[in-house]
A and B are shown apart, each in its own frame.
Chain A
């Protein structure tokens, strides 16, 4: 048997821990960004389908999660920068090759449209709201006139935001666990299911809850399919990707991934959704909370495990 021992003379306690360069704010932001993308996607979709009155929570109430989620997410991103005073350099250029660059611009567009969308529906929470100044009222009627266009922008940029959180990671060939194109659709699905779960949690209308339970179930199924797909891809790939998959198949992240993400975050809420649709009464809080927690843990596990996976040479 051939044995190999690698001794790095780097002997540098300060450098190697630094290779774990992304800390808790990044997965937290990825979760919040995905959630915001999810709720905004459904708000825009059901507005464009002309079902605003039917699905009031999805179109008018749930989007209020987005500005908060996005602002907290942006603060998270800022916290994890090492050279904070230079953050504005992000907005001096667009680099198509760098997902972080166009992602930063996407984030700007989606945050602004989320705020406008919520401003248009502020009377949902504060019925007696008055904009006080004439120019603000003018602005409101301007956006009300172009609400359809705004919804289109929101729909498209919500999808881009959802996909980008995954592509951001999959662009790194140095981290074999992240370097899979399934990550884009998988993160989008995870964000959309979190959005649907949030709508089910907020909605008091039976019909609306049933619809979003159904949507949630379909997306959870897709997510499960994508996860299986991802592992099949890893195991059929190169040694580094097989080793990356091993982090979840017996390695240190096995328990947390399969228990919290797959079983508690996808399978059990999926079964509960199915029971709800079959007419059994399930407290809506249960699948909602499980899906949100699963989505949350998924980002943490993936960001942290990805930084462990590497090429060996």
Chain B
């Protein structure tokens, strides 16, 4: 099993509903967020191109945060999801410094927090909260090993990219372009 997510940059309108849904679902402390929207404007006026991306942890296959964690609190769980065990985390910040996507933050309680792909929902057969609330339905989630899953289907049909592949992290968050 290999969970992955694809975000359609052509459909995303940057409403940040995914951010609010995540904060509500996961009880993210006020002022913090596990996902966010990036707007990239490219070109010279008037030939401008806009790309909107809903970003979060890339659940990398070669995860630097897991590699540098001194206690094994950061680990790769079933389905390739990168998770943190709060009871093992000492809050040293090594994983925060090691993430090229800056996807982690220290929870006010001390341990490091991040996107979990809403594993608690996925286990019950639901989609991650960001995916299920998206008003333009621009996000796809599923198992890459299953050729019929939403994400496998859309990645087969559409051109896509990952963020900073040159960092060697093998990210599993795809952007349809």
Contact = CB atoms under 8 A, between A and B. Distances in A.
Interface of A: 1-16, 18-19, 21-22, 80-87, 89-90, 92-93, 95, 97-101, 103-104, 171-175, 238, 307, 310-311, 313
Contact of A238 (B39, B90, B109, B166): B166
B71 A311 contact: no
Nearest to B166: A238
A86 B105 contact: no
A2 B164 contact: no
Most buried by A among B33, B70, B72, B96: B70
A84 to B, nearest CB: 7
B68 A83 contact: no
Interface stretch (B41-49, B117-125, B132-140, B142-150): B41-49
B39 A9 contact: yes
Contact of B39 (A7, A82, A85, A313): A7
A6 to B, nearest CB: 5
A6 B37 CA distance: 11
Given A3-B43, A104-B70, A310-B100, A86 B31 contact: no
A4 B40 contact: yes
Given A82-B112, A103-B70, A311-B167, 7 more contacts: A10-B38, A82-B90, A86-B91, A93-B71, A95-B69, A172-B68, A173-B167
B92 interface: yes
B92 A100 contact: yes
Interface residues of B, number: 49
10 contacts: A15-B33, A81-B92, A83-B86, A83-B109, A83-B110, A95-B71, A100-B92, A101-B70, A103-B70, A238-B166
A309 B41 CA distance: 22
A22 B97 contact: yes
B96 A173 contact: no
Interface string B15-29: 010010000000000
Nearest to A172: B98
A175 B93 CA distance: 13
Sorted nearest first, the 7 A-B pairs with minimum C-beta distance are A82-B91, A9-B37, A83-B91, A83-B110, A21-B93, A10-B36, A101-B70
A100 B44 contact: no
Interface of B: 14, 16, 19, 31-33, 36-44, 64, 67-73, 86-94, 96-100, 102, 105-106, 109-112, 163-164, 166-168
Contact of B164 (A90, A104, A307, A313): A313
Contact of B31 (A13, A22, A85, A99): A13
A248 B92 CA distance: 27
Contacts of B96: 18-19, 21
Given A18-B106, A82-B106, A172 B36 contact: no
B119 to A, nearest CB: 21
A75 to B, nearest CB: 15
A5 B50 CA distance: 9
A97 B41 contact: no
Nearest to B92: A81
Contacts of B112: 82
A37 B89 CA distance: 28
B71 A101 contact: yes
Contacts of A1: 44
B68 A82 contact: no
B39 A173 contact: no
B40 A6 contact: yes
A87 B106 CA distance: 15
Contacts of B110: 81-86
Contacts of A100: 68, 70, 92, 94
Contact of B71 (A16, A92, A97, A173): A92
B32 A5 contact: no
Nearest to B163: A313
Contacts of A89: 71, 73, 88-90
A97 B68 contact: yes
B97 A7 contact: no
Contacts of B19: 9
A87 B72 CA distance: 13
Contact of A174 (B39, B71, B91, B100): B100
A172 B105 CA distance: 16
Given A172-B98, A310-B100, A14 B89 contact: no
Contacts of B100: 173-174, 310-311
